[in-house]
């Protein structure tokens, strides 16, 4: 019992619950269909998860600061369009690595600038992040539709297929990119001054200002970095689909918010960690893949995700009440 308590304390209640839920989902779908526990299915999940994962990381830090970034999908797509424009300019399928590097730089710049604009408006004008990011979302969507005339841009060099579908050390390259970003996010939030400022602003922005933190600079950086992570997701989507379109991944917006809240982020900011969010992403991906394998309707997956969130909130409420009752008894 002591060992179990130590393990529980070391992992944290949030991680223990999510690991238990993930195991339950895996066991349930393994019993429902023999196709779930196969290398092909796990490989498919490993290629699908990174896009949602990167977009969730882009959503996570604004939520930690007490805000929200509703523009993440269109920041990713407009960044992908910047990459595509550079590649097409340098020959499309005949473009070389130097053109790709220039396109990646352009994509990161576009994502970062769009995020910086939101951050500056939130920080210096005091506008609400929901309204600012909503305005940016509408602007980027309209701009993307205008530039592409509502169609796709395709015809990229063959080596991009390796980024979207290749392996390195037997692990899918997109998954390595996402895991690398998650590690950087964890280090940034736990061990840097910027991460400390993010939590402080999410807890109480006025107290943060009184304590001497440069809240305006931190807010600007939060949305700038969020935009650059969206750009990485846009580059990855372009490599996977071999095309760029304004509407790619529109359905993922609410799922990123769901993953953040399932991972224990406080919707009002100030509390949350990367590891539980990654576990929540794995659980959502397992649910989606399992339901797909048993032939469930796609809309049923969305309904199950919503029910799962309600169940998690009920569990947390019950756990907090039990903890409070035990404290009073002791």
Q: What is the mean pLDDT of residues 322-327?
A: 68
What is the token pair recorded at 104? 């990646």
In the chain, % of residues over pLDDT 90: 24
* 47 half-sphere exposure, CB direction, 13 A CA radius: 18
The confidence score (pLDDT) of residue 297 equals: 66
Distance CA 140, CA 164 (A): 24
pTM given for the model: 0.86
Asked if the model's pLDDT at residue 330 lies above 70, the reply is no
Distance CA 73, CA 247 (A): 8
Q: What is the mean pLDDT of residues 8-35?
A: 73
The confidence score (pLDDT) of residue 120 equals: 94
Higher pLDDT, 260 or 322: 260
The confidence score (pLDDT) of residue 40 equals: 83
Q: What is the mean pLDDT of residues 158-176?
A: 84
Distance CA 195, CA 61 (A): 9
Q: Tell me the pLDDT tens digit for each residue of 104-163.
A: 999 999 999 999 999 999 999 888 889 999 999 999 998 888 888 877 787 788 888 888
Which residue in 147, 154, 159, 149 sits closest to 243, CA to CA? 154
Q: Tell me the pLDDT tens digit for each residue of 285-322.
A: 888 888 788 776 666 667 777 777 777 777 767 666 77
Asked if the model's pLDDT at residue 237 lies above 50, the reply is yes
Asked if the model's pLDDT at residue 14 lies above 70, the reply is no
Q: What is the mean pLDDT of residues 23-33?
A: 82
SS3 268: coil
The confidence score (pLDDT) of residue 4 equals: 47
Q: What is the mean pLDDT of residues 258-269?
A: 83
Q: Where are the domains of the chain?
A: 46-250
The confidence score (pLDDT) of residue 11 equals: 52
DSSP codes of every residue in 8-52: HHHH-HHHHHHHHHHHHHHHHHHHH-TTTTSHHHHHHHHHHHHHH
């Amino acid at each position: 019992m002591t060992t179990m308590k130590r393990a529980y304390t070391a992992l944290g209640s949030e991680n223990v619950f999510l690991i238990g839920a993930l195991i339950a989902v895996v066991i349930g779908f393994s019993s429902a269909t023999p196709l779930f526990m196969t290398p092909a299915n796990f490989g498919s999940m490993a290629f699908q998860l990174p896009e949602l994962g990167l977009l969730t990381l882009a959503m996570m830090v604004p939520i930690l600061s007490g805000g929200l970034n509703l523009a993440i999908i269109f920041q990713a797509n407009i960044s992908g369009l910047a990459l595509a424009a550079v590649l097409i300019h340098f020959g499309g399928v005949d473009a070389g690595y130097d053109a790709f590097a220039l396109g990646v730089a352009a994509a990161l710049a576009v994502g970062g600038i769009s995020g910086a604009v939101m951050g500056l408006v939130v920080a210096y004008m005091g506008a609400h992040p929901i309204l600012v990011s909503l305005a940016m979302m509408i602007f980027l969507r309209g701009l993307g539709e205008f530039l592409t005339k509502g169609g796709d841009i395709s015809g990229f060099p063959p080596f991009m297929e390796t980024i979207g579908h290749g392996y390195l050390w037997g692990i899918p390259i997109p998954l390595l990119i996402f895991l690398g970003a998650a590690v950087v996010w964890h280090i940034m939030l736990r061990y840097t001054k910027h991460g400390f400022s993010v939590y402080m602003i999410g807890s109480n922005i006025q107290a943060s200002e009184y304590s001497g933190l440069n809240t305006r600079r931190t807010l600007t950086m939060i949305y700038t970095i969020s935009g650059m992570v969206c750009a990485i997701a846009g580059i990855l989507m372009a490599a996977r689909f071999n095309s760029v379109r304004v509407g790619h991944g529109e359905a993922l917006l609410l799922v990123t918010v769901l993953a953040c809240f399932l991972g224990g982020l406080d919707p009002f900011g100030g509390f949350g960690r990367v590891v539980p969010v990654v576990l929540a992403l794995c659980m959502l991906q397992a649910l989606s893949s399992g339901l797909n394998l048993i032939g469930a309707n796609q809309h049923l997956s969305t309904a199950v995700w919503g029910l799962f969130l309600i169940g998690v909130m009920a569990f947390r409420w019950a756990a907090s009440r039990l903890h409070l009752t035990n404290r009073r008894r002791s």
